[in-house]
């Protein structure tokens, strides 16, 4: 049973709309991540956080922003959605120290029309 939850599971939205993708985990993990998974199925790190009030850009440049006001919550926001933002967004978390202790959410599949 996954302890990391992403909502919504699917989202279809018009160009120019502001959207927030939610990610919450109940494991008390300090480290959280957002990956973007393109239709070709490659995953790229777009944001990460090592704790409350800590956020960093990942390897792939993204117009999205993130916040980490609470340990369990790591939402991703797009101020003005565009068709180029159509992708799947995966959230993950892990405990400090374990390289393999990642838990992934089921993802949000975003389509911008």
Partner 1 sequence: AQSVTQLDSHVSVSEGTPVLLRCNYSSSYSPSLFWYVQHPNKGLQLLLKYTSAATLVKGINGFEAEFKKSETSFHLTKPSAHMSDAAEYFCVVPMGRALTFGSGTRLQVQP
**Which one among 76, 90, 110, 112 touches partner 1, defined by CB under 8 A?**
90
Check residue 30 and report its DSSP letter. Answer: S
Q: Please tell me the total number of residues recorded for the chain in this structure.
A: 113
- By CB under 8 A, tell whether 56 contacts partner 1: yes
Q: How far is the CB of 83 from partner 1 (least distance, A)?
A: 23
Q: How far is the CB of 9 from partner 1 (least distance, A)?
A: 8
- By CB under 8 A, tell whether 106 contacts partner 1: yes
User: Between β-strands 76-78 and 43-51, what pairing exists: parallel, antiparallel or unpaired?
Assistant: unpaired
Task: Tell me the torsion sign for CA atoms 14, 68, 3, 84.
Answer: positive
Distance CA 35, CA 18 (A): 19
Residue numbers at the binding site for partner 1 (CB under 8 A): 2, 4, 33, 35, 40-45, 48, 56, 58-59, 90, 92, 99-100, 102-107
């Amino acid at each position: 049973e996954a302890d990391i939850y992403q909502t919504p599971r699917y989202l279809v939205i018009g160009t120019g709309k502001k959207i927030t993708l939610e990610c919450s985990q109940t494991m008390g993990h300090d480290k959280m991540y957002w990956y973007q998974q393109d239709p070709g199925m490659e995953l790229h790190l777009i944001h990460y956080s090592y704790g409350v009030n800590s956020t960093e850009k990942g390897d792939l440049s993204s117009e999205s922003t993130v916040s980490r006001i609470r340990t369990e919550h790591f939402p991703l926001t797009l101020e003005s959605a565009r068709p180029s933002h159509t992708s799947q967004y995966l959230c993950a978390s892990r405990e400090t120290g374990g390289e393999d202790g990642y838990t992934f959410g089921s993802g949000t599949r975003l389509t911008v029309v």
